[in-house]
Each structure stands twice: as structure tokens, then as C-alpha cells.
Amino acid sequence: MPVTKIKITFQTVAVNDSADIWGDGEWVLDARVDGKAVGNPKTEWVAKERGVIALPEKDWSAVVDVSTKSKPTDTVKISFSGKDIDIISDDDLGEVKYEFKYPFNKDQTISLKSPVMKGWLFLPDHQYYNLQLKMEVVEVKATTTVTGPKSVAVSRQHDGSSTFTTVGGKQFEPRVEVCPVVPTPQAPSKLPKRPDIATALGLTPGKDTPQSKPAVLWPLPNPNTLCNPSLIPILKKTDADFAKKVARLAVTYQEPGDLDTSFLTWHVKSGPIEIIGSNQGPEIKVNGTSAGASDVLAEIELRWDGVKGPLLCTYRAWVGKVKQVKYRLNLINGTNPASQVAFAPTDYENQIKMAAIIYWQAGIEFIPDDITTCWDGASTTDSTGAALPKGVFNVPVTNNTWTVNVNNFAPTIASRLNCRPGVVHAVYVRSTTTGRAAATDIQGVDGKDYEMDGKPTASWVVPSGIPPDKDPTKKLKLKTFASSNRPSKKAPGDDNYVKARQKVDAGFTKADMGRIYAAVLPSDWSWNGTGTDANAGVNLAHELGHVLGLHHRGSGDATKAPLSNDNINSEDTAGKQRGHPWNENVMTYGYGGAMAPAPRAQDIDIIQIPIVRKHPACL
Ligand SMILES: [Zn+2]
């Protein structure tokens, strides 16, 4: 029984609804591990609506001895509940339960939704909070081990496969994964089946590597912070920021956990790429070498102890040149503070910088529009005359309904203001009717289905072609967005706008309305209470994905139907077909809510790459 101690941490409580009708709630929390209290149940926490309560790890974690739990039915039981302290009566926030099961050999981070509590009399039903729970292996008693890597017996069998041997003489093959989805999928999404090596042989349990974790998007990281990109960019080695931009390929999971990764050897199987620096170890750098006339696929192999050693894993990615997308951030400001954007202009600039980090894995660089000509009364300075960041525009309006409670599920007036056809616009209005952001002008797209075959499959949709999983039997078919077609589905006043615009902008045509690419976002969307919020950055990246033609991965709403809007489905942990990966693709909803402390919707996969890169805004 290798795992002897695990640590359970109650990490965060994301507040969905503060229960109090006015103002913040005061919550007390009751956390238990196998019935024993963890943390102080008397501590009162201020629960701000859509805020996150970060529980200090020191008090809200427990190390559990699991050495006596040795049967498949053994579990560690978690319960968590809360109350909203009120003067008249306390409100029950609902209880969540979870069981970690034997053999406790894999670190897990889990989000649990509190149950819907029925409202009393005329009061509405509430789903109050989402709990994020972490389980880590902290002590392992390996009953056997692999000997020094050089002396690991590797014998080639007649079918070309290979085996490694434990000290006790048992044969095994290590599991080494270079997952194309980073952060790597967690429940309810499921990765292809892994062979059980560690538990069966008494070896050190497998582990996720640091490169499998979500990127921290603020403070702003390097462009190549996300490992295993779907596109390896062709960069000039003389680029001053080469080291910050060059593609990083990394192992995301290994079993046994103490495998000596210095013996891992990377090898280019096909495609115009070269390894920069060492080709050994758990992480390497790769650069594209072609002229980049068109994007092509490359394959890289990961082998053991030399390029002719046993094959452990294959990675596929596109190779292409960096394409630039020019952006305008239009801040639509009404006549009084209540109708002006909620945060400082630099906050919105920070949001697009974070979104740009996500698009770097597609070889797309978001840059401020180099043409700074303003229309419709817009300016590159704020109301005090101070210069705004590059690409950010102040757009004053006298009609406050153009920026307050904007219905962005219909063509908007806001998205035509200070527009420059061919450029991508992030339009921040004061607020939207639903409180949500939406892509309003999806144009330059064809709405067709795009197929892709080969293995490993995009996002490792099963059957993935990764042994012991079977090879894919059919092509994946990605559905994309049809054009919103602004020239025929007009916002109020579009015809007059074209006429007025032509008077001051001679080249502007009616057809140019079909070259507005825009998303309209509520200016106050934040989980951490500030405008520079990684969730807002990921949210913007998601809307820009729609603008460039991508549909939702998943149904677009985790509480509804399981099948994916973009038709990319895979079996989940409950054995059902659903959008995959559910939380980790940028086109799902792995941000906000329980994900707010570390948003996960950061991946763009190889089947999405050709869609975003063929958009006419990509130059
Ligand atoms: Zn969406």
C-alpha cells in the first residue's frame, strides 16, 4: 500500500449569492474530514456576492493517515456546510459531501457545487456557493522501486514494445504523458485510461508535473507560459524575447512518480521544427524552421534514454508563422459616473494582455491598432486629457442607453462606435442586460464544419490513439459559428450611421459593416473586485474566440445539456459523452465561480487552430 498520508485542503469558497438581500453576508463554515472538524467553525467570513473566500491553508487543511485504509471500498469522507448569520434567523447555505477513494494515489482538485436551497414563502431558490477542495499525496511508502535508470532492464520484445523491470523483477512500462491540454483536464472531463503501474507493483504513485497546472495570468507571465501549445511558432532566433516566446514542450504526468526524467529524450519525427538546446529531460524548447507559407503539422516523440530508446509518448502540433491581430478597446462612457465604465483604462488593457497570453499558443499576437484615427467623438485621451494606453479609446456618448443595460444578444449600437473595419474590437459598456459578455459581431467566418483525423486526437478525445486507449476510428468534426451578418441584421440606426460616417471617412462603405469584428463586455465583470482580474482576461479571450469563429466547447452552460456546441465530445467521468475538455478549453466556462481563484479555461486545441488563424483579422 504505497500512499500512507494525504492532505486535504479546503481551499476556497466562491460566493454565488450572499443570501442577504442587501449588502454582504456573514458566513460561518463547518468543514469535516472523516467527521473531524477542520478550521474554526466560529470564524465569521464576509461573503461578497461573486466574491471568493480564500481559506488559510494552515487552519483549513488536515493530514490524514490512510495507512490502514487498504481495501477498494475504503474512503476518506469530506463534508462541508455553512450558515449565513442573520439577526432574525440563520440561513442554511447547504451541505456538500465528497469521498476520496482508495488507493488515494492521485492529487486532485475538485469543485463542488452547493445544493439548491428552496426559498421560503416568496423568496427565490438559492445555490449559494462552490467549494474548491484539494487532495494531495504527502507520504508514500513504496514497497519496491526501480533501480538506477541506466540499470533499468529494458528489453525489446518481438512486437517492438519494451518493458522496464522493478528490483523484484516485475516488468512494466512507465507512463509518461505530454498532454496537449494545459491545464490538464480534471473531472468531469476524463483523460484516456492509464495503465495501473504504481499501485499494482508497489511503486511510487504517478504525479502531475508543475507544467500541467493552470498558468497564473497576473502578474503578466511570459508569452510561452502555457506549455504544449497547439502551434509551434516560427521565430527568429535573434528576437530579443526569443526565450520568452519559444514553444515549450513538457511532460504533464509521469508514473512512477520518481522516474528519473533526465533520461527522457525528445526526437523530431516529422515536420519543420528543431529542438533548441538540450533534447533531454522533462521539458524542451522547440522552434519552427519553415518559411511558414502555410501551417503544417509536426510530430515529436518522447523516448527513453536516447532517440532510439523505447517510445513513451507522441506529441502533435501545428507549425506556423506568428500572425498579428490588431485590436481596439473602446470604452463607451455615458454622461455620469453611473453610466461610465467601472474600472481604470489600464485594467482593460491588462485584460487584453492576459487574453493575448492565451492566444500565443495559437501563434497569434494581439497588438494595439496602429491606426489611431478616432470617429464618433472618440479620443485617445481620457476626460482629463491624459493619454490612454495604446489601442484603448474613450468613446463618450450622450445617450446612456448605449452603454447601460445593453442587450448584447442582439446587434448593438456600441460595437459600431469608433470601429475600424478589419480590426478586432473589445467594446466595454457600463453594463449588459444579462450581466454577461457576448460576441456581437462574428463576421469573416463561414460557419462550416472542419474535420481532423490522426492521432493523438485533438484534446485527447477518446478513442485517442494513446495506448492502451484505442486508435480513433473516425474524424473529429468541429462545428463553427456562422456569420452574424451585420449588413442584413442591423442595429438601430446602422443605415444613417453609414451615411454619416462616409461624410468624415471617405473610404467607408456599407460592406465595411460586415468587417466589424466585436465583442461587447460589461465593464464591471470581476471576481476579485478589481478590473485586473485573470477571470476577466480569460472571459475576454473566450469572447474573442467567438469573434474569430469558435463555438462553445461543451454546451456553453455547465448546468445544462451535456453535448458540445462545437461537436467535440468525449466520455466524461460518469461515462457520458459531453464536451471535452469541460473546463480547460478557452471556449468552455472554466473561469469565474468555483474556478475564480485559478481560472482553467486556457487551452486552444489543434482542431481549433485552423479556424482562428484563417480569420481575416489575422494578418
Ligand atoms: Zn461563450
- Of the given ranges (38-47, 200-209, 296-305, 410-419), which has the lowest mean pLDDT? 200-209
The residue-averaged pLDDT of 301-311 equals: 88
pTM of the predicted model, to two decimals? 0.86
Distance 17 CA to ligand 1 centre (A): 22
Selection from 7, 134, 1, 135 nearest residue 72 by Cα: 1
Query: What's the Cα-to-Cα distance from 529 to each of 62, 85, 330, 502, 536, rounded to whole Å?
Result: 30, 23, 21, 41, 11
Give the pLDDT band (50/70/90) at residue 159: very low
Distance 237 CA to ligand 1 centre (A): 37
480: how many CB neighbours lie within 10 A of its CB?
Answer: 21
Q: Is the dihedral of CA 559, 562, 565, 569 positive or negative?
A: positive
pLDDT by residue (tens digit) across 245-285?
A: 999 999 999 998 888 888 899 999 999 999 999 999 999 99
Distance 474 CA to ligand 1 centre (A): 27
What pLDDT shows up at residue 125?
Answer: 79
What pLDDT shows up at residue 59?
Answer: 95
Asked if residue 409 has pLDDT above 70, the reply is yes
Distance 541 CA to ligand 1 centre (A): 10
Task: For residue 618, list its beta bridge partners.
Answer: 325
79: how many CB neighbours lie within 10 A of its CB?
Answer: 15
Distance 39 CA to ligand 1 centre (A): 37
Distance 522 CA to ligand 1 centre (A): 14
Distance 560 CA to ligand 1 centre (A): 14
Distance 547 CA to ligand 1 centre (A): 10
- 3-state SS, one letter per residue, for 245-305: HCEEEECCEEECCCCCHHHEEEEEEECCEEEECCCECCEEEEEECCCCCCCEEEEEEEEEC
What pLDDT shows up at residue 120?
Answer: 67
Q: Is the dihedral of CA 398, 399, 403, 408 positive or negative?
A: negative
Distance 232 CA to ligand 1 centre (A): 26
Give dist(CA 572, CA 562) in Å, integer: 10
Element (H, E) at 163: strand 162-165
pLDDT by residue (tens digit) across 518-575?
A: 999 999 999 888 999 999 999 999 999 999 999 999 887 666 667 899 999 999 888 8
What pLDDT shows up at residue 170?
Answer: 76
What pLDDT shows up at residue 431?
Answer: 96
Distance 552 CA to ligand 1 centre (A): 6
Asked if residue 21 has pLDDT above 60, the reply is no
What pLDDT shows up at residue 15?
Answer: 86
- 3-state SS, one letter per residue, for 405-416: CECCCCCCCHHH
What pLDDT shows up at residue 127?
Answer: 84
| DSSP designation for 616 | T
pLDDT by residue (tens digit) across 461-505?
A: 999 999 999 999 999 999 999 999 999 999 999 999 999 999 999
Domain assignments of the chain as residue spans, ordered by start:
3-140, 149-318, 323-445+481-549
Alpha helices in 136-271 (DSSP H): 198-201, 242-245
Candidate CATH numbers 2.60.40.150, 3.40.50.300, 3.90.220.20, 1.10.3720.10; the one for domain 3-140: 2.60.40.150
Distance 307 CA to ligand 1 centre (A): 43
DSSP-based three-state secondary structure for 228: coil
Distance 581 CA to ligand 1 centre (A): 15
Distance 439 CA to ligand 1 centre (A): 8
Distance 586 CA to ligand 1 centre (A): 9
Give dist(CA 322, CA 427) in Å, integer: 25
Give dist(CA 251, CA 281) in Å, integer: 9
Give dist(CA 30, CA 46) in Å, integer: 15
Mean confidence (pLDDT) of the chain: 91
Give dist(CA 122, CA 183) in Å, integer: 43
Give the pLDDT band (50/70/90) at residue 22: low
- Of the given ranges (20-34, 280-294, 360-374, 599-613), which has the lowest mean pLDDT? 20-34
Grid coordinates 467553525 are at which residue? 41
Distance 23 CA to ligand 1 centre (A): 30
pLDDT by residue (tens digit) across 420-430?
A: 999 999 999 99
What pLDDT shows up at residue 357?
Answer: 98
What pLDDT shows up at residue 150?
Answer: 45
**Contact call for residues 257 and 206 (beta carbons, < 8 A):** yes
Distance 481 CA to ligand 1 centre (A): 11
What pLDDT shows up at residue 147?
Answer: 54
What pLDDT shows up at residue 545?
Answer: 98
C-alpha cell of residue 104: 488515494
Distance 461 CA to ligand 1 centre (A): 21
How, if at all, do strands 129-140 and 283-288 pair? unpaired
Give dist(CA 426, CA 351) in Å, integer: 10
* % of the chain residues with pLDDT over 70: 93
Give the pLDDT band (50/70/90) at residue 156: very low
Grid coordinates 463618450 are at which residue? 396
Distance 543 CA to ligand 1 centre (A): 6
- 3-state SS, one letter per residue, for 336-392: CHHHCCCCCHHHHHHHHHHHHHHHHCCCEEEEECCCCCCCCCCECECCCCCECCCCE
